[in-house]
């Protein structure tokens, strides 16, 4: 090798660049590109959940949620794909009114979203059933057997 010639080396892979740490470290990739932590320390501390959603009841569009240590800084409550309006919470009960009728079906959870993230749902959360109710069908006389009739169905629980 002549003087002034440089050797080319491959960069050191991120998984080989570790620092001494007392807490668990994480490796983060964004679109396949390794990310570097601001202070070289990518540690985290697991904190056991302190609140949980335990049960829920529905009466019309009103939802009542029971739980343990429920937060008061609630941003949104979502049941299926329907959001609640204003919510109130006293630490053990959350109440709100859905912005639309809930769709018929079995619900095994509800999303309670706070400024700190989503409140976990208890593993013992009971299934809540919203029934499909048909009250009346209009234009159901003299139906064409080949189709083409328009029927108007009144009720609740429709998507």
> How many structural domains compose the chain?
1
Q: What is the pTM of this model?
A: 0.62
The answer to the question of residue 41 being in a domain is no
Q: Domain holding 75: CATH number?
A: 2.60.40.10
DSSP string, 89-136: E-SSEEEEEESSPPPSEEES--EEEETTEEPPBPTTPPPEEEPPEEEE
The answer to the question of residue 4 being in a domain is no
The answer to the question of residue 107 being in a domain is yes
The answer to the question of residue 39 being in a domain is no
The answer to the question of residue 112 being in a domain is yes
pLDDT tens for 21-30 read 777 777 778 7
The range of the structural domain enclosing residue 90 comes to 52-130
The answer to the question of residue 64 being in a domain is yes
* Amino acid 40: pLDDT: 66
The answer to the question of residue 37 being in a domain is no
Residue 106 to residues 15, 128, 130: CA-CA distances in angstroms?
45, 6, 6
The answer to the question of residue 111 being in a domain is yes
pLDDT tens for 80-131 read 888 987 788 888 999 999 888 888 899 898 999 988 888 999 989 999 998 8
């Amino acid at each position: 090798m002549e003087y002034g010639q440089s050797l080319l080396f491959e960069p050191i892979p991120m998984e080989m660049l570790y620092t001494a740490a007392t807490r668990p470290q994480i490796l983060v990739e964004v679109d396949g590109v390794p990310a570097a932590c601001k202070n070289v320390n990518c540690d985290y501390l697991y904190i056991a959940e302190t609140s949980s959603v335990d049960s829920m009841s529905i009466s019309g569009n009103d939802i009542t949620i029971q739980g343990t240590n429920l937060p008061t800084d609630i941003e949104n409550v979502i049941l299926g794909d329907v959001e609640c309006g204003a919510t109130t919470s006293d630490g053990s009960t959350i109440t709100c009114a859905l912005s639309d009728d809930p769709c018929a079906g079995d619900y095994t959870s509800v999303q309670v979203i706070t400024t700190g993230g989503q409140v976990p749902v208890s593993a013992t959360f009971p299934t809540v059933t919203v029934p499909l109710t048909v009250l009346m069908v209009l234009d159901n006389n003299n139906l064409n057997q080949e189709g083409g009739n328009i029927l108007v169905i009144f009720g609740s629980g429709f998507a």
